[in-house]
Amino acid sequence: MATRWGLCGAGKISHDFSVAIKTLPPGDHQIAVIASRSIDRAKDFELANDPEIDIVYLGMLHTEHWRVGMLFLKAGKNVLCEKPFAMNSREVKDLVATAKKNHVFLMEAIWSRCFHVYAKVRRLLAEEAVGDVKLVKAYFGSPQLDIPRSVQKELGGGALLDIGVYCLQFVLMVFNGERPESIQATGVLLDSGVDESVVVTMKFSRKRMALCAFSIAARLPNDAVIAGTKGPLKYVLGPMHCPTKLVVNDKETEYPLPEPCLPLNITNCAGLHYEAGEVRQRLLKGSPRMPLADSVLLTEIMAEIRKQVGVVFNQDSQ
């Protein structure tokens, strides 16, 4: 039986997700309902109680993830929630606890984890092809100062929640969800009070390090590098959040994406095909590619970074 999707949010990412789903076999995936992000709360309840929906994709602003996510989880719906999961650790832990209480599936939509390049990297790491990993570097910079949701505090703006999350989740994947021993962050803020550019260094056990830099004011290489003890061997992913190529010790391999049937808004968004397919498999078999434990730790790390950089949202005092 096909997985029947309800899409909550009608913005660019939801459009791209719906296009990506159409590249999958129709016998496996169907879009049952698409609800606008501007619908009133009565419509939210209507969608939550629709028996024809197996899972809801939340594609609205992350300032709404906690409220709408709790509604669907309490209604017994499986949920795939766009990143960032929510605004802070309290909201994320609420979502996780509610999903467990109601015995439903919940996953943060870190689509990066579902790309073929990421799968190949995980296999290489398991084979210890680079020896002991000593340093992980992830950079992501995209000029977005003209985009309201990126710069306005009330819309959950800032580099960390929008694109820095990709750098941090990559580090956690490489280090198998291990909590860093220390975090040092520095950054600059916009006049609105959200972070414009941030640099983060993390120290892990066994003398391992990670360096992340992200910015919504400047374009960066948008790549990730894993360096280990076996000579000069290293992995380079590009672009790191939705990679279609992997360079291993100067040998480049391409991983082409499915061909979409309609134009897409976001770079390589045909790769959402992999995320939708992954979710169907996890609904059938369990063990999501982005475990909830990783999402909880990721949010805690981001909370510490925000504390050090000086970014505070209204949700933090609620």
Model confidence over 235-273: pLDDT tens digits? 787 899 999 999 888 889 999 999 999 999 999 999 999
pLDDT of 38 reads 52
Under 8 Å between Cβ of 149 and 280: no
Q: How many CB atoms lie within 10 A of CB 15?
A: 20
Which amino acid appears at position 182 of this protein?
Answer: S
Q: What is the value of pTM for the model shown?
A: 0.95
Under 8 Å between Cβ of 20 and 270: yes
Average pLDDT over the chain reads 93
Q: How many CB atoms lie within 10 A of CB 21?
A: 22
Under 8 Å between Cβ of 62 and 161: yes
Is-cis flag, bond preceding 258, omega within 30?
Answer: no
pLDDT of 14 reads 93
Phi, psi of 149 (to 5 degrees): -65, -20
Structure tokens at 87: 């605004």
Tell me the per-residue pLDDT of 18-27, one tens digit each, with 9 for 90 and over.
Answer: 999 999 999 9
Superfamily of segment(s) 116-253+291-317: Dihydrodipicolinate Reductase; domain 2 (3.30.360.10)
Phi, psi of 239 (to 5 degrees): -65, 145
E-strand stretches of 222-308: 224-228, 234-238, 245-248, 251-254
Please give the average per-residue pLDDT across 54-72, as a whole number: 95
Instruction: Report domain extents, the chain.
Output: 3-111, 116-253+291-317
Phi, psi of 234 (to 5 degrees): -155, 160
Tell me the per-residue pLDDT of 126-150, one tens digit each, with 9 for 90 and over.
Answer: 999 889 999 999 999 999 999 999 9
Looking at the chain, the whole-number percentage of residues with pLDDT higher than 70 is 96
Q: How far apart are CA 181 and CA 241, in angstroms?
A: 25
- The CATH number assigned to the domain with range 3-111 reads 3.40.50.720
Per residue, the 3-state secondary structure of 58-126, as one string, reads ECCCHHHHHHHHHHHHHCCCEEEEECCCCCCHHHHHHHHHHHHHCCCCEEEECHHHHCHHHHHHHHHHH
Locate tokens 């028996």: which residue?
51
Tell me the per-residue pLDDT of 145-187, one tens digit each, with 9 for 90 and over.
Answer: 999 999 999 999 999 999 999 999 999 999 999 999 999 999 9
Q: How far apart are CA 231 and CA 249, in angstroms?
A: 10
Q: How far apart are CA 150 and CA 176, in angstroms?
A: 30
| pLDDT at residue 191 tops 70 | yes
User: Got the DSSP string for 177-207?
Assistant: TPPPSEEEEEEEE-TTSSEEEEEEEEEETTT
Q: Which residues contact 158 (CB under 8 A, 6 or more apart)?
A: 150, 190, 194, 195, 196, 216, 311
Tell me the per-residue pLDDT of 11-58, one tens digit each, with 9 for 90 and over.
Answer: 899 999 999 999 999 999 999 988 875 555 556 677 888 999 999 999
pLDDT of 304 reads 98
